[in-house]
Amino acid sequence: CVFPISERWDRCYEKSIRDRVARLREAQIEAMVEEESIDPFDVLASKPAALHSISRDVWAKRTGSQQGSYLAEVRDTLLTLANIKPEDLVLDLHARTGLLSNEACRLTKEGVVWALAYDERERDTVKNTAIGDALARPQVVLTSPASFDDDLRAAAGGGVRFSGIMGRNVLTRLEDKAGVIQKALSLLEQKGVIVLAEAVPRNGQRLSELLRFKPNDAVMEARFKKVEEEVFSDTTDPMLNWDEESLKRDLEAITAAVRIFAAKSSPKTRVLPSTIDYWFRSSSDNIRKSLGDRLKAEFGKKDLERLKALFHAQLDNMDFPWKTVTAYIKITRE
């Protein structure tokens, strides 16, 4: 900050407060409209919620959640790994609400930040959460994981190369994870860096760890754990058929300069009655089998109703530390 000495401290202090409030707000917004829950017991979410359409259940869940703090920690770790400089050209591979790209804009006073949105609602959300004048905001491109490289070249120029490429949960649900990284590498300058934070659902929270079964429910417990293990060991599910070690091997097949480390955290999460009902429902698509579908194949109607009642009795509106494993990935050309 460069101001007359009589004003310098006040203005710098005010700016630091504004930035801190904005960063907290951005993490909370990202938590509220998160596209994927990284919950293996869920089926694929169709669309992220728009800011104006957040349900009461979402508000209630976030009230009892530390997800915003967790996302702020992920953001700060990624930006530290990226080591963005003021003059850098930066790409956010999946902007969602602007959690990463807005922070990158604060760091690139002389550079430019581009952000990829995967549908119109997401694009509008990024634009609505960005602050500052037009030149200080992310340049948003509406695209998809399959065509983002071509769409970005069409918008930013065929020879565009980024010094920093970053993303959160860009790969988690995709089948061709290495293919996305190949596309990103084609957009990276020689001394650039790709940094990603990917949730690893396979190593995440097990519902059986939250439940307390009585001794006379030992058979029910064993059968539920059997179904739960089926969920986590489904080799056909791209969200669950990988972990940080297998991902490292896949990425090393296209570039040797890959570093991955896993971090465990347990942000407090509130389990709502509607969440439990959602777990026990039948899925409406053929993409992934819901937990309810799997349980119906294992339990009779009476036992299934008793199991669901046990869930509600023990978990309704309760806050739990929710085991979350995040793989941090750093890729360079060297």
pLDDT 10s digits, 156-182: 999 999 999 999 999 998 999 999 999
Q: In whole angstroms, what separates CA 10 from the centre of its chain?
A: 36
The residue ranking higher by pLDDT, 297 or 50, is: 297
Residue 330 pLDDT greater than 90, yes or no: yes
According to DSSP, residue 135 is labeled G
Tell me if the pTM is above 0.75. Answer: yes
Please report which confidence band the pLDDT of residue 35 belongs to, taking 50, 70 and 90 as the band edges: very low
| Tens digits of residue pLDDT in 188-242 | 999 999 999 999 999 999 999 999 999 999 999 999 999 999 999 999 999 999 9
- Is 50 exceeded by the pLDDT of residue 273? yes
The string of pLDDT tens digits covering residues 51-74 is 444 454 554 454 446 788 889 999
Mean pLDDT of 257-265: 95
Alpha carbons 290 and 276: distance in angstroms, whole number: 12
Give the tens place of pLDDT for each residue, 182-193: 999 999 999 999
What is the Cα–Cα distance from 171 to 238, expressed in whole angstroms? 9
Contacts of 35 (CB under 8 A, 6+ apart): 45, 47, 48, 96, 122
- Sequence-ordered strand ranges (E) for the chain: 89-92, 112-117, 139-142, 162-168, 188-199, 258-265, 268-271, 318-321, 324-332
The number of angstroms, rounded, from the C-alpha of 138 to the middle of its chain's C-alpha atoms is: 19
**Cβ-count burial of 186 within 10 angstroms (0-12 exposed, 13-18 middle, 19+ buried)?**
exposed
Mean pLDDT of the chain: 86
The structure tokens 């929270």 sit at: 205
The dihedral formed by the CA atoms of 251, 253, 254 and 257, expressed in degrees to the nearest 10? 70
Question: In the 8-state DSSP scheme, what is residue 209?
Answer: G
Beta-sheet pairing, 318-321 with 324-332? unpaired
> Is residue 290 over pLDDT 90?
no
Q: How many residues does the chain have?
A: 334
- Cα 297 from Cα 281, distance rounded (Å): 13
**192 or 286: which leads in pLDDT:** 192
> CB–CB of 141/152 below 8 Å?
yes
d(CA 311, CA 241) in angstroms, rounded, equals 27
Rounded to whole angstroms, the Cα distance separating 76 from 168 reads 12
* Dist. CA 141–CA 118, nearest whole Å: 8
pLDDT recorded at residue 50? 45
Tokens of 216: 């006379």
3-state secondary structure of 33: coil
CA distances from 21 to 79, 163, 234 (A): 18, 28, 42
d(CA 248, CA 174): 15
Q: What average pLDDT does the segment 74-95 reach?
A: 96
Q: Which residue has the tokens 């030149």?
A: 135
